[in-house]
């Protein structure tokens, strides 16, 4: 070997090899196969509960976890998705049409992909649909290719404010407008309350309210009761507050708050993906709902005044009055950690600073295993220095505590929970919706950077694969 006579050179190259060989191994090891079965990925975590009798090859396939196939639809819609230049429209606009249903309705939506080359899907954010209707490419369906269509069927089983968006290449498609609001009306709507929808979305052109730069003025007279349903479709938190009047937080993520009190001089920190319904009694001189100081909804007259967010935030941990959440979060069958960190490494062969869950990088993150009927507890800890709006599909969880402080207000039900740097939330829910469910950060670029795990029911098997010829790419 030529280097034998040059010990220094030999040493240098040995040092390089000592560095390069493991790096090459880490690189190689991080490569994802061309296509893979999500159910077979990750490190199985039983959360201290019983282990399965099944293997992941035997059980109910995701594709069979549908709504009652014999039940006729109460609401039928067609949503046609189109790529127009850099952006996306749904039935010709962005945001797309507002879908509406009454609670308990069977909703049937046909997605028509006119020309989106990457394929597309629809996910019903916050609606606990059956798994086969969840709209996650590669996990609950194949992406719908250009010229193809697919029908989603589910029961809108909870009244509230929700939204829909693509879950195929979602960090691109959602940001560029493939989204819309979904309102499920209660059985007995409050009479004499005027309802308005406020869909917030930042396009390349800037922040918008219901697709316009705003401010938007709605007709209202002093004494009127107004409910404003605010939907944050962006990647970051948006502070929301009311100028000119106190407000109440009527609902969070589609669930009514129990006995919400009056709020003054506090802003509401609306997480990415989250919704909040604000109640305002319009005073003499009008009121204005401010969204991040960039746009606003004027209720009647504009009260004027600065659009600066109040420095104090409303804390939902102690807001409203306690009530029975319907199960005992103290009697957990499974307890999981979802500890978010960050470190350098390779993700699918690409070097970078990537997110970790319990110290591991995607796809070696936990596969959280549950059985139907379990009471499930998660400690979601943010050990990174960025905020993460965490979104679990298919379920609503109730907040038990934050940094060890117990929740003392109304049951605080979430599907999109902002977890700030250094915070740990304990949340709990009942595993009542079998399937394979994403549990990810809704700052969608973070999801691409590996902040994705799944909740999986024992006895459920995959029907689809991520990647492959269909290019299923949920993030």
Binding residues vs ligand C2O (CB under 6 A): 123, 125, 165, 167, 273, 391, 393, 438, 440, 442
Least separation in angstroms between CB 146 and ligand C2O: 23
Instruction: Tell me which residue has its CB nearest to ligand C2O.
Output: 125
For ligand C2O, the closer of residues 126 and 345 by Cβ is 126
Is cis: bond before 408, omega within 30 of 0? no
State which residue, 319 or 362, has the beta carbon closest to ligand C2O: 362
* 295, 443, 461, 463: which one binds Cu ion (CB under 5 A): 443
- Pick 388 or 426: Cβ nearer Cu ion: 388
Question: Can residue 395 be called a binding residue for Cu ion (CB under 5 A)?
Answer: no
- The set of residues, in sequence order, having a beta carbon less than 8 Å from that of 165 and lying 6+ positions away, is 122, 123, 125, 173, 174, 178, 179, 180, 233
The nearer residue to Cu ion, 153 or 446, going by C-beta atoms, is 446
Q: What is the closest distance, in whole angstroms, from the C-beta atom of residue 162 to ligand C2O in the complex?
A: 10
Q: Which residue number, 320 or 366, has a Cβ lying nearer to Cu ion?
A: 366
Q: Does residue number 342 form part of the binding site for Cu ion (CB under 5 A)? A: no
Which residue from 237, 233, 98 is spatially nearest to 166, judged by alpha carbons? Answer: 233
CA atoms within 13 A on the CB side of 288: 23
Choice between 201 and 391, CB closer to Cu ion? 391
Closest to ligand C2O by CB, 171 or 420 = 171
Q: Which does 231 bind (CB under 5 to 8 A by kind): ligand C2O, Cu ion, none?
A: none
Residues 6 or more apart whose CB falls under 8 angstroms from that of 24 comprise none
The Cα 134–Cα 125 span in angstroms is: 9
Residue 393 near which of Cu ion, ligand C2O, none (CB within 5-8 Å, type-dependent): ligand C2O
Which SS3 state, helix, strand or coil, does residue 247 take? strand
- Could you give the 3-state DSSP secondary structure of residue 230? strand
Least separation in angstroms between residue 125's CB and Cu ion is 16
**Among 342, 388, 393, 396, contact with Cu ion (rule: CB under 5 A):** 388
Q: Which stretch binds Cu ion (CB under 5 A): 78-86, 90-98, 144-152, 435-443?
A: 435-443
Convert 274-335 into a string of H (helix), E (strand) and C (coil).
CEEEEEEECCCCCEEEEECCCEEEEECCCCCCCCCCCCCECCHHHCCCCCCCCCCCCCCCEE
Place of tokens 């629809």: 122
Applying CB under 5 A, which part among 300-308, 331-339, 407-415, 444-452 lies near Cu ion? 444-452
Closer by beta carbon to Cu ion, 374 or else 475: 475
Given a contact cutoff of 8 angstroms between Cβ atoms, the answer to whether 454 and 117 are in contact is no
- With CB under 5 to 8 Å by kind, the binding choice for 396 among Cu ion, ligand C2O, none is none
Partner touching 334 among ligand C2O, Cu ion, none, CB below 5 to 8 Å by kind? none
Q: Is 446 in the site for Cu ion (CB under 5 A)?
A: yes
CB of 347 to Cu ion, least distance (A): 15
CA distances from 204 to 87, 159, 237, 378 (A): 9, 32, 18, 36
C-alpha to C-alpha distance for 318 and 91, rounded to whole angstroms: 42
- Which of the choices ligand C2O, Cu ion, none does residue 428 contact, using the CB cut-off of 5 to 8 A by kind? none
CB 142 to Cu ion: min, Å: 27
- Provide the minimum distance between the beta carbon of 445 and Cu ion in the complex, in angstroms, as a whole number: 8
Calculate the CA 329 to chain-centre distance: 22
- Asked if 362 and 411 count as a contact pair (C-beta separation under 8 A), the reply is no
> 27: which residues sit within 8 A by CB, 6+ positions away?
346, 349, 351
Q: Is 441 in the site for Cu ion (CB under 5 A)?
A: yes
Q: 226 pairs with which residues across the strands?
A: 194, 280
CA 176 remoteness from chain centre: 17
**Do residues 99 and 109 make contact, with C-beta atoms less than 8 angstroms apart?**
yes
Give dist(CA 140, CA 429) in Å, integer. 22
Which partner in ligand C2O, Cu ion, none is near 125 (CB below 5 to 8 A by kind)? ligand C2O
Supply the minimum distance, in Å, between the C-beta of residue 167 and ligand C2O. Answer: 6
- 273, interface contact from Cu ion, ligand C2O, none, CB < 5-8 Å by kind: ligand C2O
Choose the one of ligand C2O, Cu ion, none that binds residue 442, judging by a C-beta under 5 to 8 angstroms depending on kind: ligand C2O
**Site membership for Cu ion, residue 170 (CB under 5 A):** no
- Report the greatest alpha carbon distance in the chain: 93
Considering beta carbons, is residue 277 or 418 the nearer one to Cu ion? 418
454 binds, among ligand C2O, Cu ion, none (CB under 5 to 8 A by kind): none
Work out how close the CB of 238 gets to ligand C2O at its nearest, in angstroms, rounded to a whole number: 15
- Binding residues for Cu ion, rule: CB under 5 A, are 388, 441, 443, 446
């Amino acid at each position: 070997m030529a280097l034998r006579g040059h010990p220094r050179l030999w040493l240098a190259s040995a040092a390089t090899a000592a560095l390069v060989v493991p790096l090459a191994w880490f690189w190689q090891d991080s490569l994802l196969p061309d296509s893979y079965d999500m159910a077979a990925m990750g490190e199985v975590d039983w959360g201290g509960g019983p282990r399965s009798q099944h293997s992941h090859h035997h059980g109910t396939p995701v594709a069979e976890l549908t709504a009652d196939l014999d039940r006729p639809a109460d609401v039928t819609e067609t949503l046609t998705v189109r790529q127009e230049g850099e952006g996306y429209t749904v039935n010709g606009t962005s945001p797309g049409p507002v879908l509406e249903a009454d609670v308990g309705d069977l909703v049937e939506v046909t997605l028509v992909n006119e020309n989106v080359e990457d394929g597309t899907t629809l996910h019903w954010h916050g609606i606990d649909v059956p798994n086969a209707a969840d709209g996650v490419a590669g996990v609950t369906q194949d992406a719908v290719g250009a010229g193809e269509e697919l029908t989603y069927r589910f029961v809108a089983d909870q009244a509230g404010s929700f939204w829909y968006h693509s879950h195929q290449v979602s960090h691109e498609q959602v940001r560029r407008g493939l989204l819309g609001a979904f309102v499920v009306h209660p059985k007995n709507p409050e009479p004499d309350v005027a309802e308005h929808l406020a869909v917030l979305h930042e396009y390349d052109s800037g922040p918008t309210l219901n697709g316009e730069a705003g401010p938007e003025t709605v007709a209202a007279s002093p004494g009127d009761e107004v409910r404003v349903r605010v939907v944050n479709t962006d990647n970051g938190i948006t502070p929301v507050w009311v100028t000119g009047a106190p407000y109440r937080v009527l609902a969070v993520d589609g669930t009514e708050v129990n006995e919400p009190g009056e709020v003054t001089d506090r802003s509401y920190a609306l997480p990415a993906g989250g919704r909040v319904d604000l109640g305002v009694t319009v005073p003499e001189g009008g009121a204005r709902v401010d969204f991040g100081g960039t746009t606003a909804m004027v209720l009647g007259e504009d009260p004027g005044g600065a659009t600066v967010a109040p420095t104090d935030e409303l804390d939902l941990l102690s807001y409203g009055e306690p009530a029975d959440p319907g199960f005992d979060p103290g009697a957990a069958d499974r307890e999981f950690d979802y500890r978010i960190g960050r470190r350098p490494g390779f993700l699918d062969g690409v070097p970078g600073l990537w997110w970790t869950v319990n110290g591991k990088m995607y796809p070696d993150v936990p596969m959280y295993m549950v059985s139907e009927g379990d009471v499930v507890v998660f400690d979601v800890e943010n050990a990174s220095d960025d905020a993460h709006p965490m979104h679990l599909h298919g379920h609503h969880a109730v907040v038990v505590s934050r940094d060890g402080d117990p929740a003392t207000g109304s049951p605080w039900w979430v599907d999109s929970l902002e977890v700030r740097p250094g915070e740990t939330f304990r949340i709990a829910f009942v595993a009542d919706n079998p399937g394979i469910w994403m549990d990810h950060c809704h700052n969608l670029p973070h999801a691409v950077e590996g902040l994705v795990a799944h909740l999986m029911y024992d006895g459920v098997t995959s029907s689809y694969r991520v990647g492959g010829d269909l290019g299923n790419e949920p993030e």
